[in-house]
Amino acid sequence: MSKSLKMVYKVVIALLVVVLAACSSQSSEKTDTKMMSDKNEKSSVRVGVVFTTAGLGGESFNDLVFEGVKRAKDDLGVEFDYVEPKSVSDQEITLDEMASSGKYQLVIAVGFEQVDAIKVVAKNYPEQKFALIDAQVDLPNVSCYVSREEEGTFLLGALAALVKKEGTLNMLNKEKVIGFIGGVESPLINKFAAGYTAGARYVDKDLTVLVDYAGSFNDPSTAKVIAETMHSKNADIVFHAAGASGMGLFQAAEEKGFLSMGVNSNQNKIKPDYIMASMLKLANQASYEVIKSVVENAYKPGINTLGLKQEGVGITLDKSNIKVSEDIVKTVDDIKKKIIDGSIEVPTALDKVDSFVESHQLGK
C-alpha cells in the first residue's frame, strides 16, 4: 500500500471516531433532557385545603400542614388551593364547594372543629377523596391523621417540673405552680392538658398545674389575661395549646417576666428569651404523605396514629436562649424511651391523671 493511501485511511478513521463520539454525546443529551422533563413533569393531582379558623401565621398548626402541602407541590408537582375560613360554618360551605366543583382529587380538612362538617360533606360526595388532619371520623372516603399529643406534652410537663426542681433558671420562683392554656375545652385539647399535667406530676407529685381555656384559637387578648392571672397565682412556666391565641401568652411572658412553652411547631424563635421549649406535632408529614398517597394511587381511608414511636410528636429546645442543663435533657430523653417501650402509658384525660400519678413516679 502506498504511503499516500495509508494517510487517507488514517484521516477517514479519525473522522469516523469524531462522528461516533458526536452521535453518542447527542444521544446522551437527549436522554438527560428526557429524564429532566420527566422529573419536572406536573402531576394531574389538584388538592384543596380548608384550614382551621385560626388561619395561617404565628408558626401555628395550620402553618405546619401548609409546609407539607407546599413540599408536595415542589416534590410531586401537585397544584393546590386553600381557604382560611373565618367561622366554623364557613368550613362546611367551603368543603362543599370544593367537593362539588370536581376540580380536586383530594380535599383536606384541618382540625377537629371540622369533624361535623366533613361528616356531612363526605357523605354527600362519596366518590371524593378526603383527608382529615388532627381528628378522626369513620367514613369510607376519609383518611384521618391523628397524633398522640399527650405523649409530647408529657415530656414538656416533665421538663417544666425538672427545671422547677433544679431551680437554677432566671424567672423561677419557689412555689410549685405551673400553668396550661387551651384554645377551647374539648377532648383533643384536654389530651394536651392531661399529658402536660401527668408529666409534671410524674416528676413532682405535689406540683399544681393551673388549667384554663381562651374559648378560641384566635383570641390572643384573652389568652394574655389568663396568662397574667396564672402568673399572679405564682405560675412561672405556662404552656399553651391555643393556636394563634398563644401569642398572648408569649406577650405576657415577656412583659411579666416568666417562662412559656409553645406548641405544634418550633415557636421558640418567636421570643427566644421567654419561650423555653415547644411541643412538636409533625402535621407537615401528615399532609405530605396523604397527598403522596393520592399521587401514587395508594390512598386508603382509615385512621393513622402518630406518637413518639412514629416520630409524629416530640419536643424541641432549639432556637431558645434559655439554657436547660444536660442532666435534665438526659432525664427527659430517658422518660421518652419509657413511653416508646410502653413502660409509661400516658393518660389522655385530666380525670385520669390522679390515678396515673399514684402508680407512676420518677425514680420509683
Report whether 261 contacts 227 (CB < 8 A).
no
**Residue 23 confidence (pLDDT):** 42
149-281+325-359 — its CATH code?
3.40.50.2300
C-alpha cell at 35: 429524564
In the numeric block, the cell 437554677 is attached to 168
Query: With pLDDT > 90 as the criterion, what percentage of the chain qualifies?
Result: 80
Range from 36-40, 153-157, 212-216, 246-250 carrying the lowest mean pLDDT: 36-40
Nearest 5°: phi and psi at 110?
A: -110, 125
Res. 114: pLDDT tops 50: yes
Q: What is the per-residue pLDDT for 92?
A: 97
Model pLDDT for residues 246-292, shown as the tens digit of each residue:
999 999 999 999 999 999 889 999 999 999 999 998 889 899 999 99
- DSSP type of residue 69: H
Residue 34 has pLDDT above 50, yes or no: no
Contacts of 183 (CB under 8 A, 6+ apart): 54, 189, 213, 214, 215, 216, 217, 241, 242, 243, 245
- Give the integer Cα–Cα distance in Å for 313 and 185: 21
- The CATH architecture one would assign to domain 46-147 is 3-Layer(aba) Sandwich (3.40)
pLDDT digits (tens, 9 = 90+) for 165-191: 999 999 999 999 999 999 999 998 999
Q: Alpha-carbon torsion 283, 285, 286, 291, what sign?
A: positive
- The lowest-confidence range among 38-47, 61-70, 152-161 is 38-47
Residue 58 pLDDT? 67
C-alpha grid cell, residue 154 = 408529657
How does residue 5 score in pLDDT terms, banded at 50, 70 and 90?
A: very low
| pLDDT value at 9 more than 50 | no
The model's confidence at residue 215, banded by pLDDT at 50, 70 and 90, is very high
Cell of 250: 408569649
Q: Strands (DSSP E) along 106-250, which ranges?
A: 106-110, 130-133, 142-147, 177-182, 208-213, 237-241
Work out the widest C-alpha separation in the chain, in whole angstroms.
110
∠ Cα 282 221 87 (to 5°): 65
Domain ranges of the chain: 46-147, 149-281+325-359
Q: Residue 10: its pLDDT value, please?
A: 47
Q: 228-238: per-residue pLDDT in tens? A: 999 999 999 99
Q: Average the pLDDT over 112-132 and give the result.
A: 97
pLDDT for 6 beyond 50: no
Element containing residue 97 per DSSP (H, E): helix 88-101
- β-strand pairing of 313-316 with 275-281: antiparallel
Does residue 25 carry a pLDDT above 70?
Answer: no
Q: What is the mean pLDDT of the chain?
A: 89
